[in-house]
Amino acid sequence: MRPPVTSLVTGAAGFVGSHLCERLLREGHQVIGLDVFADYYPRTIKEANLAALRGVPGFRFVEGDLTRLDLAPLVGEADHIFHQAGQPGVRPSWGKDFDVYLDCNVRATQRLLETARTVGRVQRLVYASSSSVYGETRDLPLCEDSPTRPYSPYGVTKLAAEHLCSLYHANYGVPTVSLRYFTVYGPRQRPDMGFYKFIRAALEDRPIVVYGDGEQTRDFTFVEDAVEANWLAVAAPAAGQVLNIGGGSRVSVNQVLATLEEVLGRPIRREHQPPQAGDVSHTWADTRRAKEVLGFAPKVALREGLAREVAWLKETLER
C-alpha cells in the first residue's frame, strides 16, 4: 500500500492557504500547515480561518517564520510544497516597511527553494505569484510573455521571488510552477482587500471608498478557482512554467458595485478619493496557457462569488 502524499502549505492560516489546506485534505493528502501569524491583520481572523482544520485527521499545524525556521525537517517530509506565504499589500509596501516585504517575499522564498534543492523528495513546488508583476500597462489581455514592469515595491518582490523559482528550476531542477493570481476574492478574504471593505461598509450602511473614478478594471478570481489551479499544478507537466490564473472577465469597480447592489437589494453610497500610489489602472488575464498546460478554466462567475462572500461576511459579523 502506497503511503499518503504529504503536502506542505506555507501561509496556511491565510485566505487562500486555509482553503487550499481543506482541499488537499479532501483529496486524501497529509497536510503540514505553516504560518507565522504576521501582524498585517489580526491573529483572531487567521485563527478563525484555521478553525475547520484544527483536529482534522491528517492535518498538522506548525507556527514558525520561514526566514528563521529550520526548514529541513518540514521540507524533508513533503512530496509537494504550496508556497502561499508572503507579505501582501500594494499600498503599504512603500517606505520603511519595504524591509518586511524583502524578508517575507524574497528571502523566505529563497530559503524554501534552497532547502528543497538540498533536502527531501519534493515533486512539485507551487509558488503563489501575482498579477502585480505586470505593473501599469495597456497590453491587454496580459499573457505570460507580456513585459513585467511592477508598479509597486510589492510587485517588485513578487517578481523577484518568481525569478528565484525559475532560476532554481533551470539550475538545479527544482520542479517549480509559479501561478500569477489575478485579484482573488471570496470567503475569508483579508480585511484590507477591496471586496471585503466594500461589503462590510455596505452591510453597515457606510459609504464605500472608491479610489479614482471607479473605471479601473480588474480580473477577479474566486478563491475556489485559485485553489483548483494549485491542485491542477501538482500533476500537470508544468515544471518551470509561469501561468496566469484569472477569473475570466474584466470588470470595472463601478460594475462590481452595481452587482453588489443587486446582491444586497439596496443602493450603495460612494465616497470618491484620489487614486493611490502603486494601484494600476487595469488587469486582465489571458489564461490560455493555463488551460493548455493545466486544464484550468474558472468556474465561479462574479455575481455568484460576490453573493457567497456576502453570505460569509454576514455570518462572520453576526458571530
- Rg value, the chain, Cα: 19
Query: Which grid coordinates are listed for 252?
Result: 470595472
Domain membership of residue 162 as a residue range: 6-184+223-246+285-298
Q: Tell me if 66 is assigned to some domain.
A: yes
DSSP notation for 44-97: HHHHHHHTTTTT-TTEEEEE--TTTS--HHHHHH-SEEEE------SGGGSGGG
Name the grid cell of 296: 484550468
Residue 212 belongs to a domain: no
* Grouped pLDDT means (10 residues each) for the chain, 319 residues: 87 98 97 96 95 95 97 97 95 92 98 95 97 93 96 96 98 97 97 95 94 93 98 92 93 95 93 86 94 97 97 92
- Torsions phi, psi of 144, nearest 5? -60, -20
Helix segments in the chain, DSSP class H? 15-26, 43-50, 72-77, 98-101, 108-118, 153-172, 194-203, 223-235, 253-264, 288-294, 302-318
Residue 228 lies in a domain: yes
- Rounded to whole angstroms, the Cα distance separating 259 from 256 reads 5
pLDDT at 230: 98
How far apart (Å, rounded) are the C-alpha atoms in residues 217 and 199? 18
> In whole angstroms, what is the distance from residue 49 CA to residue 22 CA?
10
DSSP 15: H
124-130 sheet: strands from edge to edge: 59-63, 30-35, 6-10, 80-83, 124-130, 176-181, 241-245
Domain harbouring 28, CATH code: 3.40.50.720
User: Which residues make Cβ contacts (< 8 Å) with residue 111, sequence separation at least 6?
Assistant: 66, 67, 71
212: left (phi over 0), alpha (psi -120 to 50) or beta: left
Pairing of strands 59-63, 80-83: unpaired
* Tally of domains within the chain: 1
240 in a structural domain: yes
CA pseudo-torsion sign 35, 41, 44, 48: negative
Reading the block at residue 246, the C-alpha cell is 484569472
Asked if residue 309 is part of any domain, the answer here is no
136 in Cβ contact with 149 (< 8 Å): yes
The pairing of strands 184-185 and 221-222 is parallel
Respond yes or no: is residue 154 known to be catalytic: yes
- Greatest CA separation for the chain: 61
Contacts of 44 by beta carbon, 8 Å cutoff, 6+ apart = none
Catalytic residue among 151, 154, 168, 181: 154
Confidence at residue 199, expressed as pLDDT on a 0 to 100 scale: 96
